[in-house]
Amino acid sequence: MKFGGTSVANIERIRNVARHVKREVDAGHEVAVVVSAMSGKTNELVGWARETSALHDAREYDAIVASGEQVTSGLLAIALQSLGIPARSWQGWQIPIQTDDAHASARITGIDGSELIRRFKDSKEVAVIAGFQGMNVESGRITTLGRGGSDTSAVAIAAAIHADRCDIYTDVDGVYTTDPRVVPKARRLDKVAFEEMLEMASQGAKVLQVRSVELGLVHNVPVFVRSSFDKPEDIDPHGTPPGTLICSEEEIVESQVVTGIAFSKDEAQISVRHIQDKPGVAASIFGPLAEGSINVDMIVQNVSDDGKFTDLTFTVPASEFVRAKDTIEKAKDKIGYTKLDTATDVAKVSVIGVGMRSHAGVAAKAFAALSERNINIRAITTSEIKFSLLIDAAYTELAVRTLHTLYGLDQA
């Protein structure tokens, strides 16, 4: 069971979480709980680190920000004990959750779940684990896993203790066909395939961290997204509560062609104009960006009629736009372009569904529907189970609503 920041925002909510855990324990389950920091605490800790020094040691930064989860895990253990449930808190280094040494964005390299399993058997003790953190074995230092890292901790621990399921409790009651704030007719999905959720998470859906979905896929750990604000006493632990199960594709009997629409306004477009069309040109542009760890998403190339020149258009996260633009400008002599066009008022809309593998013409319908709304498409990328369109940001909501209706995702 994993509980996010809003679910443990204050003592009353932590007591509510304890009642959720008690329900599962009373039903005979062996339970490990992963908790985030109380809502707003991580931002406060980050602020203190930056206020102390703008240029700070990443190792000390991790030591500071990891303390938020340490507090929550201790408080929840006390709350459980007060309900008569044996429980103890665990920090990432005590299990240990082993990671690489990329401080502030570490990746989990291994977890030994044997001690937790032993305690389930011997003392029926609930393990309350601080999410978002681990340790680098070589240095012995605390590491953190990046924003949303508690989701990743939870799925990784579920795999390590061979859990039947990993329940992610959050402030929404599941995964929807798109953001209900943009499309009120959005439906909650009962089941989503890992591959679909991976695309939805990486294309802008904020429900789960991408890495946590990857781990679920690799270790085949079913992940259940559900609300922590349902009353614990009203839920039958043996029934199926409202929520969305993220599972292997084989478990989904009848899948629609399109499962969901994701969108992201965190996009910027860069067009490198009038470059000589010769071998090595793409490398001269994307090599320096890769060296600067700038993630390039959509790439479109247009070659002139005579085949001598080309334009290359690509997108980067809006937060990386200035760095990306500077990187290309510094490499102007090597690239040999005549003009650089940029745009930050763009958005990416993605249509996702495993059913696309066996259906033709799915994207063509979208192009026709958007053209009827006079929405211009700047760039297109496709994969086996999704296609993404780059459009002007002003048309994002209209495009999402149009496509949601087009593919029959509106609830009746």
Write the pLDDT tens digit of every residue in 348-358. 999 999 989 88
Question: Are 186 and 319 part of one and the same domain?
Answer: no
Question: Are 176 and 282 part of one and the same domain?
Answer: no
- Look at residue 256 and tell me if it is in a domain: no
Q: Where is the domain boundary, 249, 280, 300? A: 249
- Look at residue 255 and tell me if it is in a domain: no
Question: Are 169 and 313 part of one and the same domain?
Answer: no
Residues 301-321: what's their mean pLDDT?
Answer: 89
Q: Which amino acid is at 3?
A: F
- Look at residue 297 and tell me if it is in a domain: yes
| b/e code 218-255 from CB counts within 10 Å (16+ = b) | eeebbbbbbbbebebeebeeeeeeebbbbbeeeebeeb
pLDDT bucket at 304, cuts 50 / 70 / 90: confident
Question: Are 212 and 163 part of one and the same domain?
Answer: yes
Q: Do the Cβ atoms of 207 and 246 come closer than 8 Å? A: no
Is pLDDT at 341 greater than 90 in this prediction? Answer: yes
Is pLDDT at 412 greater than 90 in this prediction? Answer: no
CA distances from 201 to 197, 211, 258, 347 (A): 6, 9, 15, 16
Question: Are 118 and 218 part of one and the same domain?
Answer: yes
Question: Are 316 and 204 part of one and the same domain?
Answer: no
Residues 259-277: what's their mean pLDDT?
Answer: 93
Q: Where is the domain boundary, 186, 214, 249? A: 249
pTM: 0.87
- Look at residue 20 and tell me if it is in a domain: yes
Is pLDDT at 364 greater than 70 in this prediction? Answer: yes
Question: Are 14 and 159 part of one and the same domain?
Answer: yes
pLDDT per residue as tens digits for the range 247-259: 998 888 767 899 9
Residues 73-102: what's their mean pLDDT?
Answer: 97
The Cα 160–Cα 225 span in angstroms is: 20
Angle at 208 between CA 206 and CA 213, to 5 degrees: 135
Question: Are 24 and 118 part of one and the same domain?
Answer: yes
Q: What is the CATH number of the domain that holds 209?
A: 3.40.1160.10
Question: Are 58 and 186 part of one and the same domain?
Answer: yes
pLDDT for the residue numbered 224: 96
Question: Are 7 and 47 part of one and the same domain?
Answer: yes
Q: Where is the domain boundary, 228, 249, 270? A: 249
Residues 182-205: what's their mean pLDDT?
Answer: 91
- Look at residue 254 and tell me if it is in a domain: no
Q: Which two tokens stand for residue 228?
A: 């922590």
Residues 66-88: what's their mean pLDDT?
Answer: 98
pLDDT for the residue numbered 156: 96
pLDDT for the residue numbered 231: 87
Number of domains making up the chain: 2
Residues 51-61: what's their mean pLDDT?
Answer: 93
pLDDT for the residue numbered 306: 81
Q: What is the CATH number of the domain that holds 371?
A: 3.30.2130.10
- Look at residue 411 and tell me if it is in a domain: no
- Look at residue 81 and tell me if it is in a domain: yes
Residues 205-230: what's their mean pLDDT?
Answer: 91
pLDDT per residue as tens digits for the range 282-297: 999 999 999 988 999 9
* Domain span at 273: 261-406
Residues 231-248: what's their mean pLDDT?
Answer: 88
Question: Are 241 and 277 part of one and the same domain?
Answer: no
- Look at residue 329 and tell me if it is in a domain: yes
Question: Are 10 and 115 part of one and the same domain?
Answer: yes
pLDDT bucket at 307, cuts 50 / 70 / 90: confident
